[in-house]
Structures are given as C-alpha cells and as structure tokens.
Amino acid sequence: MDLKDRKPNEKNISKNKHFIYSLDFAITGLKTAFKDERNFRFHCFALVVVCVLGIVMRLSIIEWIWILLSATLVIVMELVNTSLENLVDMITNYHFHPLGKKVKDMGAGLVLVQAIFALIVGLLIFVPKFYEWIVK
C-alpha cells in the first residue's frame, strides 16, 4: 500500500506538513533515546556535570562554545549510532549478519572518536583552570 492510497486522516503516515508535528516527533525521539539507551543517558548526565563545572569555573564564551559543541556532537553521534543499530536490527530481524556487525561497530566508532575529542577539549579547558584554582 502506497502512502497516497491511505486515508488523509490517518496519523503519522505522510510527510509532515507542519513544523509542530516535526518538533513533536523529534522530542519523542529524544525521549525514546533517553528512556531506552543507557549511553545516551550517561552522555546527557556528563553534559549537565560539565555545564555546572563550567559555571563554577567561569568559562569564557569561546570555552563555552568548544565545550558545548564537543559535548553536543557526542550526543548527536550517540543518536546516529542508536539509529544505525536499530536499523540493522530491523533489517536483519535481530539475526547476526557480518555486514550488520560492521555497521554497528563503525557506529560505535563514531561515538568513540567524538567522545575522545570532547575529552581532549575538556582537559584542555578545565585542567589549567583546576591548576589555577589549586595554586591560589
């Protein structure tokens, strides 16, 4: 059955024509990731901790930009990885497939590379501030 053959009053079956519907789907996706994905919750928690630390350490605007950019990209990569994993599971019907494993491993690699970058950015920004705070 094609989308054009369905009744217009059926929900969630055609292209979103209103921004509010798209926003609702996006928020639902974030809620689902937060509820279902342990690593997503961990990264969100880490972002909150880093933000509190940034307020305490009085980060400059440029430091905030780097911290928020790198942390947000970790969360984005986690969402991409989760999407890839779900897509592979759907296509393979939860059966092992070597190509599915490759896709899942590379998705996990996305998150790892970005998390390492975020860690380096965090260390470059916070270590000197901690040192300054301890020496005072």
Short-list 2, 92, 136, 114, CA closest to 47: 114
Closest of 86, 73, 65, 64 to residue 112, by C-alpha? 73
Residues in the chain, overall count? 136
Q: How far apart, in whole angstroms, are the C-alpha atoms of residue 100 and residue 2?
A: 28
Q: Which of 37, 63, 78, 85 is catalytic?
A: 78
Residue 63 is a catalytic residue = no
- Which residues belong to the active site? 78
